[in-house]
Amino acid sequence: MRPAPTVVEGVRVLRLPDAAAVAAAAAAALIDAIYQAQAQGRDPVIGVATGDTPQATYARVTAAVESGCLDPARAWIVALDEYVGLGRDDPRRYRHELLRKVVEPWGVDPTRLLVPEVDSADLTEAAHVFEERLAAIGGVDLQLLGIGRNGHVGFNEPGSDPEQGTRLVRLAPSTRAANAVHFRSVDEVPQEAVSQGLATILRARRLLLLATGPQKAAAVAAALGPEADGPVPASVIRSHPHVTVVLDHDAARLLR
Ligand code: F6R
């Protein structure tokens, strides 16, 4: 039998035994969002996170596409963020990661991948253009979120203003250390990124935050529990009317 969601601080929380169960639940929600938009005669707009947590979810959606149950060719795929300072063809750019893991395997038209532009000399203007394009496609139906060990969502690090939109951000040292596994050393990890702001994220019609593993337990507890050291960025999801948090046993460990 499937565990029932509980409500913590007004947020629906689904606690599942392991990361595979989290991926299955998240993939089902994602597929449902695509079906729902298609049933309404609209092109689905799916906000995706990069990083390790959602990879198994994307693989399950790919399996649904390959089995012929799902055709997201006309979906829009919207990134949360992009590193600043990597070469255009660097495979660690989030644009390339999303092309490899989402756009190509799901059969989405690559012109429908929306990622903050980071090659422009004027990144403030580029962030503004990203917001405008996002608004022009009707906003995000379902935004998938991971959570950083320090409670960031997107690259909104602790101290981010919840009213801010997409902008140039500086990565916290702990974020650079966590992401160093994808680089030869921590020194290679970019110092900056352009990230959707917390206000941008909160405009999505639905939010789905995933967390797996013991290294996320403290951040999850801070996002959904009493805030000893002030609010972590992820706690803004509490103010969203349609949010679900899906956790494995380890990530839920410190949650009351
Ligand atoms: C990625 C992003 C980040 C990650 C977070 C968790 O686009 O915006 O907020 O979701 O750092 O990363 P993983 O899943 O690698 O632990």
What is the spatial distance between Cα 216 and Cα 199, in angstroms, rounded to a whole number?
Answer: 23
Mean pLDDT computed over 174-184? 96
Q: Which residues line ligand 1 (CB under 6 A)?
A: 49-53, 80-81, 146-148, 152-155
- Report residue 229's pLDDT band, with 50, 70 and 90 as the boundaries: low
> How high is the pLDDT of residue 3?
77
| Strands 142-145, 113-114: pairing kind | unpaired
> How high is the pLDDT of residue 141?
98
How many Å lie between the centroid of ligand 1 and the Cα of residue 154?
7
- Measured between its terminal Cα atoms, the distance across the chain in Å is 22
- In the numeric block, the tokens 């500086």 are attached to 170
Mean pLDDT computed over 25-44? 98
For the chain, the average pLDDT equals: 96
- Helix or strand or coil: residue 142? strand
Q: From 140, 34, 24, select the one nearest 79 (Cα to Cα).
A: 140
Give the tens place of pLDDT for each residue, 192-211. 999 999 999 999 999 999 99
> How high is the pLDDT of residue 228?
62
- Report residue 4's pLDDT band, with 50, 70 and 90 as the boundaries: confident
> How high is the pLDDT of residue 125?
96
Mutate to test the pocket of ligand 1, among 140, 152, 189 (most ligand atoms within 8 A of CB): 152
What is the spatial distance between Cα 48 and Cα 153, in angstroms, rounded to a whole number?
Answer: 12
Q: Is the pLDDT of residue 227 over 80?
A: no
Give the tens place of pLDDT for each residue, 119-153. 999 999 999 999 999 999 999 999 999 999 999 99
204: which DSSP letter? S
Torsions phi, psi of 112, nearest 5?
-100, 20
pTM (predicted TM-score): 0.96
